[in-house]
Amino acid sequence: FDCYYDEYRGVICLVEIINGRLTKGERVTSKATRLTYEVLDIGVLHAEPRSTAALHAGQVGYIITGMKSTREARVGDTFHLQREPEVEALPGFKPAKPMVFSGIYPEVSSEYDALRTALNKLTLNDASIDVQPEVSAALGTGFRCGFLGLLHLDVVMSRIKQEYNLDCVVTPPTVPY
């Protein structure tokens, strides 16, 4: 039901087991992306994540599948065992639709890759951000980003500055009709 990025272990998905059990080594399929992964580690969350042999129905824990791209992890996704028949996605999750769009460009063009990495990591924890590459004759290579509102845009830009130490040029926000 949620996920975050760890520098050493990659994408970590927080999950709730609805029925059955899940063990290390099993293969799971994402309902949203239809990609299949091997469960490399599984565990429960205490003060620190603790590996376990399995998660059973009703338990909340984490799985590590070796996802390298943050685009593969979708908040609210439903996973099922690869050997199980197709299952319905759990109800109640609808992706947020961005309402405000703005261009984000690195002040120094050599920081484009760092900005891309920062935006990818931010979108892992905030699925409501929409990021598309964009090229401007005046500003160079950057991204066209969609946000839920002006405050959301401001929070994301503050995080880019504070967490990734990147200075960016932000175009005036627009609202599509």
> What is the CATH classification number for the domain harbouring 123?
3.30.70.870
Chosen domain end from 81, 113, 133: 81
pLDDT in tens, 105-136: 999 999 999 999 999 888 877 878 999 999 99
Same domain, 13 and 58: yes
pLDDT of 154 higher than 80: yes
**pTM for the structure as a whole:** 0.65
Identify any residues that bridge with 55 across adjacent strands, giving them in sequence order: 22
Same domain, 12 and 58: yes
Cα separation, 30 vs 1, whole angstroms:
12
The predicted structure's pLDDT at residue 12: 87
Interacting residues of 152 by C-beta distance below 8 A, sequence separation 6+: 100, 128, 129
Number of domains in the chain: 2
> What is the CATH classification number for the domain harbouring 26?
2.40.30.10
pLDDT in tens, 9-39: 888 888 999 888 999 999 998 888 888 999 9
Chosen domain end from 53, 81, 109: 81
Let me know if residue 177 belongs to a domain.
no
Mean pLDDT for all residues in the chain? 88
pLDDT in tens, 53-105: 999 999 999 999 988 766 677 777 788 888 877 777 777 667 778 999 999 99
Same domain, 50 and 108: no
**127 dihedral zone (left: phi>0; alpha: psi -120 to 50; beta):** alpha
Let me know if residue 72 belongs to a domain.
yes
Same domain, 50 and 112: no
The predicted structure's pLDDT at residue 27: 94
The predicted structure's pLDDT at residue 3: 78
Let me know if residue 33 belongs to a domain.
yes
The predicted structure's pLDDT at residue 69: 67
The predicted structure's pLDDT at residue 98: 92
The predicted structure's pLDDT at residue 77: 79
Task: Provide the residue type at 9 as one letter.
Answer: R
Let me know if residue 150 belongs to a domain.
yes
Let me know if residue 86 belongs to a domain.
no
Let me know if residue 89 belongs to a domain.
no
Full residue range of the structural domain in which residue 125 is found: 100-170
Let me know if residue 109 belongs to a domain.
yes
Same domain, 75 and 108: no
Decide: 27 and 35 in contact? Cβ < 8 Å.
no
DSSP string, the chain: -EEEEETTTEEEEEEE--SSEEETT-EEEETTT--EEE--EEEEESSSEEE-SEEETT-EEEEE-----GGG--TT--EEETTSPP-PPPTT--PPPP-EEEEEEESSGGGHHHHHHHHHHHHHH-TT-EEEEEEETTTEEEEEEEESSHHHHHHHHHHHHHHH---EEEPPPB---
pLDDT of 48 higher than 90: no
